[in-house]
Structure 1
Amino acid sequence: MNKFLTGKDLENTIYNTIWETKSRLLIVSPFIKLDDYFKKLFDKHENNPKIHLILVFGKNEKAVQKSMSKADFDYFKKFLNVSIIHVPNLHAKYYGNEKQGIITSINLYDYSFKNNIEFGVYSQQSILDKFKASADNDAWNECMKIAKNNEVVFIKRPVYENKKLIINLSKNYVKSDILFDSTDKFYGFSKNKQSENKRLNDFAEELELGSKPDIRPEREIELKTEYGFCIRSGKKIKFNPKQPMSKESWKIWNEYGNEDFPEKYCHKTGKASNGKTSMRKPIM
């Protein structure tokens, strides 16, 4: 069943999609901004490891906080089973759970829900519909394809203790583990922009207590030091033994130009040299 929606009907259908989720919630929205009402909807699932929350957001590759604030990002990190993916060229919007989905123009943005004129097409499905071609199946599959082909920012997964019983097989939830977190890279808190890129398929949907990760570890590459220290002031500067002083210190030194004049610091380590370094010998 497909239905065109706008206004309050569209808003309430999206609210219900979030609220009534039982096992999986997929949200694709370039811009995400939560008010207290949205948080009340999501908070219902905060302690439920059975619900996999998949967030796909995008735009503003050089200023990710314009697409989703750090505060909202941190809010989603508290959920027990969550995947957050960044798509730089995302413009599509979709909200779906295991029973229904909405292809729409509206972002998960409080202002949009309160002020904008937005449209959407709603699809409701039964178990049998999952095996049939439909707009919602196509939308879900396309959104998951986008999620799987783009860079993961944060992954947290539930850990279960398996107990084999005579009658049935059950599993007890124990905790949730953060498997990947590149928040600092995306929000500009890390100078290392070349950290490893991960995809959704790199991570299992759930973990067994005591199991070891099946992802091959990467060898850490030791980065060469690209900075040094002024041998006169100790100020951090570009590493260059041929010019081991800051501009200010060099102007003073250049008045006499004595290459053997004792200086105070080691150009490479920044440690006090007690006069053992000079322009001719800047490194201890």
Structure 2
Amino acid sequence: MAKFLNTSGTTYHLEELIKKATDRLVLISPYLQFNERIKELLEDKNRLKIDIRIVYGKSELSPQEINWLKELTFVRTSFCKNLHAKCYLNEHECIITSLNLYEFSQVNNNEMGVLINKNDDGQLYADTYDEVQRIIRISEEVRLSADTEKSTTYQEKPKTESHSKPRNYDKITTAKLAEKFGIDSNEFTKLLAENGYIELKGKKTFLTDKGREVGGEVKKGQYGYFIVWSVDLEISFDDEKTSFADKLKNLFKR
């Protein structure tokens, strides 16, 4: 029967699921940022010529992730618009979970999931497999492209002409963003937390899914993790009576 997994159990069984794959491996996660252990496991499966499909839903992949993925010959990468599901599957079992395939989530977040074994829960596994295949079918296989200087994410099929403003993928820190808008850094951080874009735990700051949706990204620097935001986020100061909370709401309005 299906087995409940807590945070550590989900991480453990995800690694085991990858290790046990002998024919196929599907990893579905909106956010991608591989830790060294997952990279080692995927590189090993690539050497064994296992068919690996990775489906993601956010286009802000770092150049390092892109260049690493490009080196894996047997990995096919697809982009699925509006993806929120997190599911990991091989030919024997699968995990449905809240855990993104994202280094920060695996280290800091409280997650849970369910492990499904094909032999014990054949119909449940089959239903999950069918939905995984549907997600793959509606996803668009992409050819990743990047260099060490520019954060180009992927090249996709030509789309109809759009008059919307191109998105700028350059990133700046929270403090720099606050400075850009003339807001005190501490006040700005507090407002980000109050509006659900970050979570404060003591002296530590954590990026939420809501923050990622507006372009927030976790980076690892010399002194630990920090958060960066899209440099082209805009805010209006036309109404001086508008509260900082209202201004923040405008800032993240898409």
Question: What TM-score, normalized to structure 2?
Answer: 0.55
Q: Could you list the runs of 5+ residues in structure 2 that have no partner in the other structure?
A: 161-254
Q: Does 1:195 align with 2:135?
A: no
Which whole-Å CA distance do the structure 2 matches of 1:193 and 1:113 have between them?
29
Match of 1:133 in 2: 123
Identity %: 29
In the TM superposition, residue 82 of structure 1 has moved relative to its aligned partner by: 2.1
Amino acid at match of 2:83: L
Match of 1:54 in 2: 53
Q: Does 1:42 align with 2:60?
A: no
Assess, with a 3 A threshold, how the Cα gap between structure 1 residues 48 and 7 changes in structure 2: closer, same or farther. same
**Structure (1 or 2) with the greater helix fraction:** 2
Amino acid at match of 1:138: D
Match of 1:26 in 2: 26
Which whole-Å CA distance do the structure 2 matches of 1:193 and 1:144 have between them?
20
Alignment of 1:107-256 (within 5 A): 107-126=100-119, 132-134=122-124, 136-153=125-142, 181=143, 183=145, 188=152, 195=158
Residue from 87, 90, 93 that aligns with 1:97: 90
In the TM superposition, residue 79 of structure 1 has moved relative to its aligned partner by: 2.3
Which whole-Å CA distance do the structure 1 matches of 2:153 and 2:104 have between them?
28
Match of 1:69 in 2: 62
Assess, with a 3 A threshold, how the Cα gap between structure 1 residues 103 and 22 changes in structure 2: closer, same or farther. same
In the TM superposition, residue 149 of structure 1 has moved relative to its aligned partner by: 1.4
Contact 2:26 2:90 in 1 (8 A): yes
Assess, with a 3 A threshold, how the Cα gap between structure 1 residues 147 and 194 changes in structure 2: closer, same or farther. closer
The Cα offsets for residues 94-142 of structure 1, whole Å up to 9 and x where unpaired, read as 011011100000000111111110010101123x96xx422x2212211
Which whole-Å CA distance do the structure 2 matches of 1:28 and 1:140 have between them?
12
Which whole-Å CA distance do the structure 2 matches of 1:106 and 1:112 have between them?
7
Amino acid at match of 1:146: I
Amino acid at match of 2:94: G
Contact 1:46 1:78 in 2 (8 A): no
- List structure 1 runs of 4+ shifted beyond 6 angstroms: none
Which whole-Å CA distance do the structure 2 matches of 1:33 and 1:193 have between them?
21
Which whole-Å CA distance do the structure 1 matches of 2:47 and 2:86 have between them?
26
Contact 2:66 2:144 in 1 (8 A): no
How many positions carry a matched residue from both structures? 156
Q: Which has the larger radius of gyration?
A: 1
Provide the alpha-carbon RMSD of the alignment. Answer: 2.6
Match of 1:83 in 2: 76
In the TM superposition, residue 54 of structure 1 has moved relative to its aligned partner by: 0.3
Q: Could you list the runs of 5+ residues in structure 1 that have no partner in the other structure?
A: 154-180, 198-284
Match of 1:276 in 2: none
Q: SS of the counterpart of 1:195?
A: coil
Question: What TM-score, normalized to structure 1?
Answer: 0.50
Assess, with a 3 A threshold, how the Cα gap between structure 1 residues 105 and 196 changes in structure 2: closer, same or farther. same
Assess, with a 3 A threshold, how the Cα gap between structure 1 residues 194 and 36 changes in structure 2: closer, same or farther. closer
Q: SS of the counterpart of 1:133?
A: helix
